[in-house]
Amino acid sequence: MLLRLFISISGVICGLLITLLCHAGNTITAAVDEDIIADYQLFIGDRDPIDIEHFGGPGARRDVIEIVLLQQALHLGGFSGKVVLRPENSYLRILKLLTDGQIAISGALMWRDDIKPYSEFLFKTRALVNEGEFIAGLYTRQDNNRALNATTREKVSQLSAASNDHWKPDIEALKSVGISRIYYSTYWVQIVRMVVAGRADVTLAPFQSNPGMKVQVDNLELVPIPGVKVALPGSRHWPVSKKHPQSREIFSALEKGIAILEQKNIIQRAYEECGFFHEGVKNWKLLNPPKVIPAKN
């Protein structure tokens, strides 16, 4: 009984020590989805993220590159501390931790409209991905010929999709191309499994830099429907918790650092090299082009 109590107390103390260490000095905590960590470690290897100049290679994808850009922006903006990554398994969970002040920042960017309702609790940096720049593929199982041959909006509208019901831009984009049968799951790996298992035809995902632009998760693979792409609405920003004791310092450093990255064209190049801004789909048909508003006389 005493041993069990000792272990329990020790666990609490360890947790408190980790929290204190993460807030000590200039060390801040950034939460990221659990599935990103392995790819981030694969991409980084033994390199210092501050020194990275090429953003392609094993493990490179949009989410991973944004963690690198976060650290480079902070450094360029004058923040001299370290970023500690905290794995989390939910987008909404990360938002809750931010609004409560339990973490300083999200490692990945978030949608403008998701940050906006929490403006009392969160700073929003300038956009790294502007309106209309987030282009995704419709990803399916390699042997789903019905989906792979759906290269028109009419055919795409007959497909079913898997997504997360909290991913509002994804849902809006799917509906904008006529997909009405959408099945929901909580985690990205579960969504990929639904498509692989044939419970849904497609899911939205950014294009990848590997040969074939394949999405690869837990030994599962999805491929994009060739020749078509979809635009997700909204811009993307880093949210910074206003409740964090270093919030203004972090936010100010990020704003300065992002501006410097933009001036050096590093953000554009990073997204190109990791496959997010993919040259190979430049001439693919956009299934949901922005509506043209007639000019007033």
Nearest-5° angle of CA 38, CA 281, CA 178? Answer: 90
**Angle of the 62-76 helix axis to the 266-273 helix axis, nearest 10:** 160
**Is residue 184 domain-resident?**
yes
pLDDT in tens, 199-213: 999 999 999 988 899
Range of the domain at 205: 135-231
Q: Same domain for 227 and 240?
A: no
What mean pLDDT is predicted for residues 31-57? 93
Q: Same domain for 113 and 163?
A: no
What mean pLDDT is predicted for residues 190-203? 97
Q: Same domain for 208 and 156?
A: yes
Q: Same domain for 173 and 254?
A: no
Torsion of CA 186, 190, 192, 198, to 10 degrees: -110
pLDDT of 2 strictly over 60:
no
Q: Determine the Cα–Cα distance for residues 88 and 210; give it in Å rounded to an integer.
A: 26
Q: Residue 157 has what pLDDT?
A: 97
Q: Same domain for 124 and 251?
A: yes
Q: Determine the Cα–Cα distance for residues 18 and 36; give it in Å rounded to an integer.
A: 21
Q: Same domain for 125 and 142?
A: no
What mean pLDDT is predicted for residues 45-63? 94
Q: Same domain for 169 and 259?
A: no
**Is residue 8 domain-resident?**
no
**Is residue 164 domain-resident?**
yes
Closest alpha carbon to 138 in 146, 130, 128 = 146
Q: Determine the Cα–Cα distance for residues 208 and 226; give it in Å rounded to an integer.
A: 13
**Is residue 200 domain-resident?**
yes
Q: Residue 209 has what pLDDT?
A: 87
Q: Determine the Cα–Cα distance for residues 207 and 86; give it in Å rounded to an integer.
A: 26
**Is residue 295 domain-resident?**
no
**Is residue 11 domain-resident?**
no
Element (H, E) at 224: strand 220-224
Q: Same domain for 254 and 189?
A: no
Q: Residue 3 has what pLDDT?
A: 37
**Is residue 156 domain-resident?**
yes
Of the candidate ranges 8-17, 27-36, 177-186, the one whose mean pLDDT is the lowest? 8-17
Q: Which residue has the higher pLDDT, 91 or 54?
A: 54
**Is residue 12 domain-resident?**
no
Q: Residue 7 has what pLDDT?
A: 33
Average pLDDT, the chain: 89
Q: Same domain for 224 and 160?
A: yes
Give the number of domains in the chain. Answer: 2
Q: Determine the Cα–Cα distance for residues 249 and 148; give it in Å rounded to an integer.
A: 49
Closest alpha carbon to 30 in 129, 95, 106 = 106
What mean pLDDT is predicted for residues 25-49? 90
Q: Same domain for 169 and 227?
A: yes
What mean pLDDT is predicted for residues 125-137? 96
Q: What are phi and psi of 237, to 5 degrees?
A: -140, 165
Quickly state the pLDDT bin for 25 (edges 50, 70, 90).
low
pLDDT in tens, 222-278: 999 999 999 999 999 999 999 999 999 999 999 999 999 999 999 999 999 999 999
Q: Same domain for 248 and 120?
A: yes
Quickly state the pLDDT bin for 19 (edges 50, 70, 90).
very low
Q: Give the pairing of strands 228-231 and 135-140.
A: antiparallel
Q: Same domain for 113 and 158?
A: no
Where helices occur in 24-90 by DSSP H, the ranges are 34-44, 62-76
pLDDT in tens, 143-190: 999 999 999 999 999 999 999 998 999 999 999 999 999 999 988 999
| Residues ≥6 apart with Cβ < 8 Å to 276 | 61, 62, 65, 206, 207
Q: Which residue has the higher pLDDT, 111 or 20?
A: 111
Instruction: For the chain, give the percent of residues with pLDDT over 70.
Output: 89
| pTM for the model | 0.84
What CATH code is carried by the domain that includes residue 226? 3.40.190.10
pLDDT of 104 strictly over 50:
yes
